[in-house]
Amino acid sequence: MSTVAFSTPTPRSRATDIDGRTVAEGDPATASLDTVEAAHRHGVRVLRAAGVEEAWLDALLLLMEVTRLDKATLLAYPQRRLAAGVADRYVDLLGRRARREPTAYILGRCEFYGLEFAVDRRVLIPRPETEMLVDLALEALRPYRPDVARRRVVEVGTGSGAIAVSLLRTVPDLRLTATDCAAEALAVARANAARLGVADRLELRHGDLLEPVEGSFDLLLANLPYVPRGRLPTLQPEVRDYEPRVALDGGPDGAEIIRRLLAQAARRLNPGGHLAVEVDSSHARAVADEARRHFPDADVVVRRDPSGWERVVHIHRPPRPTGPS
């Protein structure tokens, strides 16, 4: 029978709980973890005490990870016994989650656009609302479909490669160039592109914004850091203490890097081209105004995410007028 976490030798009547505190046996923290149900109940209690919002789900995900069983099996067979060593591994993962490490980093993966991406502390964990950029890109590419391979598509600040790889997986002929200023993030993107079979159509470049990319483009996508600097200390611990600062810090008002991108992109967006950038709702209107200054002939629209937040600034240049032939 397994009990909670006891890596350090302890006197017979004492034990160490998940946070390393010494507790008396019989304490709830030393509950028996020999069945799925007991382990899950214990996990939920530990995570709730640590302030984790989705304690029930996260405890289950960690249990799925250590048992290699799916959710349905775990819920259908609560009295199933945990194999030797499994409970210890579970307690170890629970401890990490209780210290507010994000579940995606603990598992080493997350889902985005129906695909599984490897993630670790070198990259931001892709967020569901960012899938909007992929949808928008697909919409923008639709008129180009017959010769999409000739279109110049760029993603700036690719991180794990979630946006670029999802797009490449969905549009088989597309080629894409993606940049990031963090070489270690590009290594993660490269591995994801290879694992998901699109590495031959993705060019990764290291550098500041559009500097490593020459020429003009038909579609530019960017989810750059946009958290106002003063708000960084108030973020939840999962984000503040674990995700890369270079992926979060958007300068004093959050829009500093986005503004620099707009300045770099002006005069490089082809007629008929699209530029879509994810923003924080607090500066969406200001970014849209800035975009109108840089792209005076373009349509600039602020789009809301499924939760109703102003999330993307979308710039569309009208196509070149076709004269009489």
Residue 199 to residue 201: CA distance in whole angstroms = 5
Residue 305 to residue 311: CA distance in whole angstroms = 6
Query: To the nearest whole angstrom, how small is the minimum distance from the Cβ of residue 99 to ligand SAM?
Result: 23
Where on the phi/psi map is residue 308: left (φ > 0), alpha (ψ -120 to 50), or beta?
Answer: left
* C-beta of 63 vs 153, nearer to ligand SAM: 153
Where on the phi/psi map is residue 169: left (φ > 0), alpha (ψ -120 to 50), or beta?
Answer: alpha
Query: To the nearest whole angstrom, how small is the minimum distance from the Cβ of residue 3 to ligand SAM?
Result: 39
* C-beta of 60 vs 198, nearer to ligand SAM: 198
- Binding-site member from 16, 30, 130, 177 for ligand SAM (CB under 6 A): 130
Binding piece for ligand SAM, criterion CB under 6 A, among 81-89, 150-158, 263-271, 286-294 = 150-158
State residue 217 phi and psi, 5-degree precision.
-145, 160
* Residue 246 touches ligand SAM, criterion: CB under 6 A: yes
Residue 36 neighbours by CB distance under 10 Å: 23
- Please classify residue 96 by burial: count the beta carbons closer than 10 Å to its beta carbon, then call 0-12 exposed, 13-18 middle and 19+ buried: middle
Binding piece for ligand SAM, criterion CB under 6 A, among 54-62, 178-186, 233-241, 288-296 = 178-186
Binding piece for ligand SAM, criterion CB under 6 A, among 87-95, 102-110, 124-132, 284-292 = 124-132
Exposure on the CB side of residue 162, measured as CA atoms within 13 A = 28
- Binding-site member from 208, 239, 264, 281 for ligand SAM (CB under 6 A): 208
- Which residues of the shown chain bind ligand SAM in the complex (CB under 6 A)? 123-124, 126, 130, 156-160, 162-163, 179-182, 185, 208-209, 223-225, 246-247, 257
